[in-house]
Amino acid sequence: MHFNKLINTIKERRENLKVNQENLAKLSGVGLRTLKQFESGKGNPTLQTIQKIADVLGLEVCLKVKTEITNEDGKNSL
Q: Which of DNA, a copy of itself, none binds 10 (CB below 5-8 Å, type-dependent)? A: a copy of itself
Q: How far is CA 62 from CA 19, 40, 47, 51, 57, in A?
A: 23, 22, 11, 10, 15
Note whether 12 binds DNA by CB under 7 A: no
Note whether 40 binds DNA by CB under 7 A: yes
Task: Choose between 9 and 23: whose C-beta lies nearer to a copy of itself.
Answer: 9
Task: Choose between 22 and 70: whose C-beta lies nearer to a copy of itself.
Answer: 70
Burial status of residue 39 (CB atoms within 10 A of its CB: 0-12, 13-18, 19 or more): middle
